[in-house]
Structure 1
């Protein structure tokens, strides 16, 4: 206590010989919050240089001990303040994390979705298992997380058996890519097959080197972090989003829209889980984030992309990527930390992140309002011109175009079984003809064997070919048996000849089948390229090298696609390398899949109509965004007013009963008051805009 009164914290509980100044610890805390890469070791090295003393490892250990004590003191003071303010009720932080989302007013305009959230996993914050990489076992530490950000492993493991892992040979395969080359069925099945974190549970393995393999979190649409859970010795298993959704539904209730990069597939998981009745009763709506949505199947986009979901507004629901872009900087300092110190660092980081998000909240609302007003003005003018040119009188026609496209895509199935049998029959006929030609060639060569002046080695080669004729005859006999079986199944009375109309038609369909396969392969590679492009601004990931290597593969796939496209009748459009590298939306590929029905004559598939439909949807979402922002601005302004009254009342009470605590509250309130003043001024400017309608 004597040391603390002098402004120091000792590095041992009894008889300390070394102490660290509280001011130094406070400076490091703020520096680490704004620069998470700054480690304690780097801070101590800096202090050593400032004081002209040599650095020793034990100095960093001593500083770490004092810093833990300092944070513990701050945490206990914070808990006392929360109790004084009445903020210590269960889930109070989760219920009040973002005033724009959760400070609901009695007479406000009802919204289709009560609030919008987003969730995702990230494996940057892995922590190594000390028992695996060190000679000695990890020292026991009974300290746990200090805050209610975390969902406990027990809460998460309630859902560990909700999705059963499938057994099979694929367990041993290596799934390096988020997108895999698998046949298309329905849109959601395609996403389940192609996205790594939507795939079977046994794919989501993690090296035994790591104890915690990352974090899974949920945030509101403004970026405030709501919940975090550790991914323990696994990839992104279904139990993490299931536990997160369960908690959000329990606390926030009905009519929630939740963005997830595999929201389409996860909706199926929810429907099969124990949460299904709760999800239906509370009308949870899963959505796929804007960026990830453009890498999904077109049919999936029409159901889950934010542009096509009424009520979402202009929210991209990709905020978790922005959260992770900041928290990734914590990784170097937490990779080899203890469990407690990792939790402590993560909590400190996200507490500061949330405070920063609150400080920027009015800026975010103002920017979104400005963008929405601009889009409404531009799209109304553009849409009027397009509607006049296309002869569209009523906006309901755009909804009809979307229904027609959804109906068309829902009717696309895997190739019919009879058609698959016809392809198999055609392949068997071709193989039998090739074997017959090979055998005839060998016989002809045998007749000429002794009539020519062959060398001994050439003669031996010809004799070996002649000896292979019986084996070829056996294969041809088996093929003929297969052909007869297929003819019975297909009801073919007369065998197809190369000149027959059935043979020619089937050959054309095979060419189109090969074209679609080539297009699928090209599409898969371009999607992988898009994923790599998102990482190019992250240092040390090796994404640039991977992209350069992938480009050669894309070029080969592009050549194969162009060759298959040219063989169709009529030939399909070929693609150039420039078109490929400029692609940003994978849905552009889907309209090249002309499959069994040519859609080019459908009105909804015409480029001008599609452009007008997109502009109509953008106008609708922008108008919804303005309606939501009008509500959120009013919530924020009211929350600021009510908070000021509540804190003033609490300060008066604490000044009488607990002056030191009142002093600490006043100190913290000064910053909040300054931030709220900026919010009020900025909201005043927004409300003065000519287009403001709140």
Structure 2
């Protein structure tokens, strides 16, 4: 298309040169990758979020029965009325389907194993990752949506079409592979099911490479609360070091805008749908995200300063209430909570052995029936045979259980076999009751988790009326299940010795934090007096860790603000110099460069004004002075531009340049003739004046 616009012949190397230049340009994110000399390194070189969206579907245009050839029953017969096309969307935003398919599951070994892993107990708890949820899609749709990634500032990085499937693992794997190739090491990727994807990534062909490049799988701040309390201590945004105040939920905000595109691409062809989506996100990057970049930095800086200001007032008071003098104790409390919750994931082997002693159950089942008389008739034969069979089975079970009991008595070091009157027997009975209590509490917790987050979604801004009604109906169904689980919980709580406090329906609906609910999951230890288990202790820990993340955010922003200030100067200077050098060599190309410069220049004054406002904030510790980029190669914004015009474009403008030279020679001859005529006229006038003076 560019060759047609310039009126020159197409050559393959021209598209390669353009692709290389475009790739280099797209990799430059003003605040993410425009690194400067002497800047303090960050834990994550690039933070990004990725997620799937099913709004941008595309209907499959199937052949009608009349169009189908009844004689052609081969499986390769076409099922779509669309003609094949060789058109494709340029740029490197869109991933090719063939590239994505290399990450699909092609062996019986399922990368998305749903078995609980000792290091990742959440891996098997996400129903949307099961095969029946991801393998199939409604037959009416050919494209079920898009899967994309964006940086923390909102710039789109990679887009992939989800073809006749749900949100399968191959899409995030393809995205991670592309980002590792493009941006290198120390990437942090946020995903709703980051804990499950962490296991998937480590077991995939990308696992070793991702580990070598220090890739970190993270979870968005909103979805992090849906995970087990133990996993929250490792993945919740509040506790992840180096994350700052980033919530990794940018995809949700991006999709809330791109959903308006759905109606226009639902029945478009494959090429035109991709073209519309790519153009939309390109326009969004150039005119929305880039325009809001400095405002994003300004708002985040104000938020971080406000958290620090509030924390500096409340944290000392809370520490005095707890009798704490050193803030390092909070990390120790977090480790202690992690150790405690880890112990709850597996029952004690000692207690399990005690609970599983079922020898006496077998002894009770084993009985001997002695008839009152020795007279047997035909009627007694059937009952006698039944009793003999039951007695034989009881003896077999007794012998089997006796061997098991002997083994476990040896493991427990039991010298004398327990009887119901022994204290050990009573303790084991209480353990069984606690075990039942733990199980019903876990079930109740799962239902309350669903209710809390459905309520949060229903009250979330931007949720439509129909969706609110749908969630409301789902909560009505869930409420009945919660009431049933609550009754079982209260029954098990009263069976304990001493009885545990029961819960009412009013208590359940008031729960807002899953971590607090998880603290009820204690049937072996009393943690009510541990500092990190008290409301004041938890508030103090949250305040401290939020302040830590705010300090990290200020560090991130200081680096990014300095990068933006430098990028604004370097980019504008570089493009302006390119335009000047091309003005005489190739005016048409210079015009295109000027158009690009004017698109970016329209936001220049806004960015500089925001940078001034940031520097005026009370507590600002960064710099808005121009720095020095580490990139000085050909094409870098900080380098000196060199005008390189393809030979075909030069040949296109040579006639114009030669015409300009001929015109210049003619002008010089004309000027010379004019000078000669002027000199002659001056001499004639001088002679006339001389004659007049003589008279």
The TM-score, its normalising length taken from structure 1, stands at 0.74
Please point out which of 579, 590, 612 is paired with 2:518: 590
Structure 1 residue 119 displacement after superposition: 1.5
Output one character per residue of 1:332-378: Cα deviation in whole Å (capped at 9) or x when no partner.
44344332232123213322332311111111111111110000011
Q: d(CA) in 1 for partners of 2:384 and 2:283? A: 81
102 and 468 in structure 1: CA distance in 2 versus 1, 3 angstrom threshold = same
163 and 480 in structure 1: CA distance in 2 versus 1, 3 angstrom threshold = same
Structure 1 residue 664 displacement after superposition: 5.3
Q: d(CA) in 2 for partners of 1:239 and 1:156? A: 6
488 and 110 in structure 1: CA distance in 2 versus 1, 3 angstrom threshold = same
Cross-structure match for 2:276: 345
Cross-structure match for 2:328: 396
- Contact between 1:213 and 1:233, CA under 8 Å: does it hold in 2? yes
Q: d(CA) in 1 for partners of 2:487 and 2:550? A: 41
563 and 691 in structure 1: CA distance in 2 versus 1, 3 angstrom threshold = same
Structure 1 residue 314 displacement after superposition: 0.6
Cross-structure match for 1:507: 429
Output one character per residue of 1:535-572: Cα deviation in whole Å (capped at 9) or x when no partner.
53145443332222222222222232222223222333
Bigger Cα Rg: 2
- Secondary structure, in 3 states, of the residue corresponding to 1:575? coil
Cross-structure match for 1:206: 136
Output one character per residue of 1:576-612: Cα deviation in whole Å (capped at 9) or x when no partner.
3344334343222221111433333444334333322
261 and 573 in structure 1: CA distance in 2 versus 1, 3 angstrom threshold = farther
- Number of positions where the alignment pairs a residue of Structure 1 with one of Structure 2: 580
Please point out which of 92, 109, 115 is paired with 1:148: 92
408 and 644 in structure 1: CA distance in 2 versus 1, 3 angstrom threshold = same
Please point out which of 419, 425, 449 is paired with 1:527: 449
- Secondary structure, in 3 states, of the residue corresponding to 2:21? coil
Q: d(CA) in 2 for partners of 1:431 and 1:212? A: 60
Structure 1 residue 146 displacement after superposition: 3.2
471 and 590 in structure 1: CA distance in 2 versus 1, 3 angstrom threshold = farther
Structure 1 residue 681 displacement after superposition: 0.7
Once the two structures are overlaid, the 10-residue window that deviates more, 661-670 or 228-237, is 661-670
Q: d(CA) in 1 for partners of 2:265 and 2:419? A: 70
Q: d(CA) in 1 for partners of 2:254 and 2:384? A: 70
Q: d(CA) in 2 for partners of 1:215 and 1:604? A: 43
- Contact between 1:128 and 1:336, CA under 8 Å: does it hold in 2? yes
Cross-structure match for 1:139: 82
422 and 670 in structure 1: CA distance in 2 versus 1, 3 angstrom threshold = same
Please point out which of 631, 637, 652 is paired with 2:559: 631
- Secondary structure, in 3 states, of the residue corresponding to 1:100? coil
Q: d(CA) in 1 for partners of 2:343 and 2:504? A: 31
Runs of 4+ in 1 over 6 A off after TM superposition: 82-87, 132-135, 464-475, 492-495
Q: d(CA) in 2 for partners of 1:483 and 1:558? A: 35
Q: d(CA) in 1 for partners of 2:493 and 2:346? A: 20
Structure 1 residue 663 displacement after superposition: 4.6
Q: Mark the runs of 5 or more structure 1 residues left unpaired by the alignment.
A: 1-68, 77-81, 172-179, 444-463
Output one character per residue of 1:20-76: Cα deviation in whole Å (capped at 9) or x when no partner.
xxxxxxxxxxxxxxxxxxxxxxxxxxxxxxxxxxxxxxxxxxxxxxxxx9xx999x9
407 and 494 in structure 1: CA distance in 2 versus 1, 3 angstrom threshold = closer
Output one character per residue of 1:98-153: Cα deviation in whole Å (capped at 9) or x when no partner.
31212211132322221211112233333343338887532214122233211212
Once the two structures are overlaid, the 10-residue window that deviates more, 354-363 or 263-272, is 263-272
Correspondences of 1:34-45 after superposition (within 5 Å) = none
Correspondences of 1:135-534 after superposition (within 5 Å) = 136=67, 137-142=80-85, 143-161=87-105, 165-166=109-110, 186=118, 188=120, 190-198=121-129, 204-207=134-137, 209=139, 210-355=141-286, 356-416=288-348, 419-426=351-358, 429=360, 480-481=398-399, 483-491=401-409, 497-533=419-455
288 and 307 in structure 1: CA distance in 2 versus 1, 3 angstrom threshold = same
- Contact between 2:362 and 2:398, CA under 8 Å: does it hold in 1? no
- The answer on 1:642 being equivalent to 2:534 is no
Cross-structure match for 2:495: 567
- Secondary structure, in 3 states, of the residue corresponding to 1:406? helix
- Secondary structure, in 3 states, of the residue corresponding to 1:559? helix
Once the two structures are overlaid, the 10-residue window that deviates more, 603-612 or 514-523, is 603-612
569 and 530 in structure 1: CA distance in 2 versus 1, 3 angstrom threshold = same
- Contact between 1:421 and 1:486, CA under 8 Å: does it hold in 2? no
Cross-structure match for 1:19: none
Structure 1 residue 94 displacement after superposition: 4.1
The TM-score, its normalising length taken from structure 2, stands at 0.74
Cross-structure match for 1:608: 536
- Contact between 1:206 and 1:213, CA under 8 Å: does it hold in 2? no
Structure 1 residue 477 displacement after superposition: 5.6
Cross-structure match for 2:693: none
Structure 1 residue 523 displacement after superposition: 1.7
Q: d(CA) in 2 for partners of 1:95 and 1:117? A: 14
146 and 471 in structure 1: CA distance in 2 versus 1, 3 angstrom threshold = farther
Q: d(CA) in 2 for partners of 1:139 and 1:219? A: 32
91 and 248 in structure 1: CA distance in 2 versus 1, 3 angstrom threshold = same
- Secondary structure, in 3 states, of the residue corresponding to 2:474? helix
Please point out which of 683, 689, 692 is paired with 2:611: 683
Cross-structure match for 1:61: none
- Contact between 1:366 and 1:686, CA under 8 Å: does it hold in 2? yes
Cα RMSD of the aligned pairs, angstroms, is: 3.8
Q: d(CA) in 2 for partners of 1:289 and 1:480? A: 54
- Contact between 1:141 and 1:340, CA under 8 Å: does it hold in 2? no
- Contact between 1:116 and 1:220, CA under 8 Å: does it hold in 2? yes
- Secondary structure, in 3 states, of the residue corresponding to 2:357? helix
- Contact between 2:160 and 2:171, CA under 8 Å: does it hold in 1? yes
